[in-house]
Structure 1
Amino acid sequence: MRFLDKAELLETFERAAVLGGYRKAAEELQISKATVSRRIAALESMLGTKLFIRSSVGTVLSPSGISLLEKTSVLLSRFQKLSAAPDEDGPRLRGTIRVSAPSAIGNGLLIPWLTQFQRINPEVSLDLTLTLGPVHIIPPECDIRINHGLYPCSNARIHKLGDMRRMMVASVSYLSKYGYPKSPKD
């Protein structure tokens, strides 16, 4: 699940907890009560715990819900500050940022992030280059390169952004014909 999806679940939980119910959260977030319920169920499933105790009297936070609410309020406050438009009096980002990335990362993750970044920073122009196959040298016209794996380069700062899970799949007919691989060479 992507970070923005998780943030949406946490925001829905936080609003329901603070406002005291799914209906009030739905009204404030301008979504249906069923959507609030689905999001909270998804968050409970992801965390493996009940966040609300439901009874005929109403809905109250469980001990896990109370603990999560304390953490969530701080996290969402920081997230909202980071994603808010810059103050008129504060420094504004301007100019062009040249970004290069593999097409799988660019199409799947980067384009939505860059779209949101550009909405927040309208004076920034983004020049995005999506590549196929491995790139071993940072192009001189590139400010940021997002890459799979290590990037042996002496003139760049390298920061790990996260892990990307990969898996190899094969059809039943292929495996019955060629067998199961026992080593990477197979």
Structure 2
Amino acid sequence: MKTLDPLDGIAAFLTVSTHLSFTKAAEELSMARATVGAQVRQLEDRLGIRLFQRSTRKVALTEAGAAYRQALSGILPQIREAERAAISFQKEAVGRLRVSAPPDLGHLVIVPAVSEFLKLNPAVSVELDLSHRPVNLVEDGFDLAIRGRLEVDINLITRQLATSSIVISASPAYIAEHGVPMTPHDLVHHACLHFAELRWGRIWPFSRDGEEFRIPIVPRLELNHSLGLRDAAVLGLGIVLLPDFVVGEDLRQGRLVRLLPDWDISTIQLQAVYPANRHIAVKVRRFVSFLAGKLRP
């Protein structure tokens, strides 16, 4: 059974009833006169009653048509206001922005960026989910996700925000007690602090001069929270492998010391991912651009 749209023909009916002219209604609606007439006839057929008396020179409302117009009084302004409300999301940064991000990047980068973004965009509110769990943007209702690495669906848009190096480091106290590893192979003799969410498992990858080395480690401490691992490293518990956005300030302040600087380790591509759509909301586009500007340095 075909489902009928209850709004079909109503705009045409109300416009004709205002002007009592199909020609003027067609001009106002930017339609062909025949189209306006067809929409009104279809509406009459659906209702099973004549709404207009028509002659070659005059159009007049029937009694039923006048009652119908009275009952519909105010509906077009409401529809136009609803359209303006919807269109405003494409013209201004408004509404709630739901963002998923990993906890470490969230605490260190995203939360400060969100605070500044909200001051610049007072009509926006943000719901921030900080977790490592994979999210389905559409099914879970997120506007975008920020991740270090994503398997991206073809229906998603990916924008690279920044690249973060991964560095290996330890505290001065740990180095003073246990010494400095001279090669990645020396790590087997040290206490290693391991991030449990690493996609390649309990392997620390290194390369130099085109040669790659994959060093299996037995963690002294394993956590799924990089900020906790950083704290353990600062306290002297062992050697840690973490992104520079997590340990960068500790390295600059001397709380941690970079190890094996002549060896290359993997990098993390920080990405913003959001559903592909011709009509991306202004709040999403503006936040992604703002975040890219914050992360790029």
TM-score normalised by length of structure 1: 0.47
Determine which structure has greater relative contact order: mean sequence separation of CA pairs < 8 Å that are 6+ residues apart, divided by chain length.
2
Q: Which has the higher strand share?
A: 2
TM-score normalised by length of structure 2: 0.31
